[in-house]
A and B are shown apart, each in its own frame.
Chain A
Amino acid sequence: MAPLQFNYELSETLLLLFAMLTGIAFGMFLEKAGFGNARKLVQQFYNTDMAMFKVLFSAIVTAMLGIYWLSYFGILDITQIYINATFIWPQALGGIIFGFGFVLSGLCPGTSCVAVFTGKLDGLAVFAGMFTGLFLYAETEPFLKGALSYSSIGDISLYELFHVEYGLLTFLIAAIAIGAFWFAGKVEERFSNNSLRRSS
């Protein structure tokens, strides 16, 4: 039964080798999508190239359905998997600040690695900024204790929170995503036509 790490003896070396291979595949996918290029990635926020939205949501829907079906057939023990803990206000407001940072830099922490390793010097500036941000955090952390853990609701999942059936929720999200993909295509078409007209 999966997760394998908790139910079988896996050596640390094997897990780290798996981490390396997973990372290589992840890095290749990000590069092939064009996400080492900040200017391409940031077009999401100008509606001219919705690749970020398409990649993010098709990955989530794929993984969400896969994880659900693996647990449904008893292959994966859902109680053993890591559910990211929810902190309502830190994540809502932190997300907005993160979004500002995303549009300023045009990259996120993961894609900045791809940018740096494909020679993009603006990626290096993002690295430097992130290290400075983490340094400032380490200096200010003692004053932030209350704010950091404010409005925590623990590692509950969406279906537990809203008392919906797990399978039904995955079906609803997948259905909404298909509609959203269609809509994203329409928006993209419209905005790129507009920008063509403007530039001619």
Chain B
Amino acid sequence: MMKREPRPYWNPYIVGVGIGLLIILSVVVTGRGLGAVGAFNGIIASLTHAIAPDYALSKGAYSAYLSGVEHPLKDWVVIEIAGVCIGGLLSGIVSGRFKFEVIKGPGISNVTRLILAFSGGLLMAYAAKFTRGCTSGLALSGGSVLSPGAWLFMISVFIGGYSVAWLMKKAWN
């Protein structure tokens, strides 16, 4: 049976202008741009609260998302990220790129790849607490409104990324 080839990727500048217009629209409506990692804060706070309510309320990192709100998941960035998941799914299906697989370089095993992915996620989430945002909420949205911290963060991400890339060469190429 012939396998359908995935559709080609879009030109990065077209995607960039599209995301830029989306940020403008978001600022015009809500006064701020897009976000991502913030949604995970709300999700882990509500998960922890569901399992161990007293414990969740005793931790400042969770209680900040629990007190004074109707529900921690009824939040702008949580709903926006739910949208990102739906949009990604729809586009993945339409473009022929939805497939259960582990994306990795040829030189490493699936298990190694998953351990590296896990470690990377851990570092990013922890660091994002110090930076007050990730590539979406801080770099993209903060960069657009000319926040000095956003530009500093972006430069640092590139320095950090390039300086560790040579060590990780085998894992990707």
Contacts and interface: CB of A to CB of B under 8 A. Distances in A.
Interface of A: 2-6, 10, 15-16, 18-34, 36-40, 42-46, 50-51, 54-64, 66-67, 70, 75-76, 80-88, 90-110, 112-123, 125-139, 141-142, 147-148, 153, 155-159, 161, 166, 169-170, 181, 195
Given A5-B30, A105-B116, A121-B101, 8 more contacts: A43-B172, A63-B21, A63-B24, A64-B146, A94-B130, A116-B85, A122-B103, A131-B125
Nearest to A148: B130
B54 to A, nearest CB: 14
Nearest to B31: A3
Nearest to B138: A84
Nearest to A78: B145
A69 to B, nearest CB: 10
B144 A67 contact: yes
Say whether chain B's binding surface is mostly helix, strand, loop, or mixed.
helix
A58 B17 contact: yes
A16 B79 contact: yes
A26 B83 contact: yes
A173 to B, nearest CB: 8
Given A66-B24, A93-B130, A118-B99, A33 B9 contact: yes
Interface of B: 9-10, 12-13, 15-34, 36-37, 40-41, 44, 48, 59-62, 74, 76-77, 79-92, 95, 97-105, 113-165, 168-169, 172-173
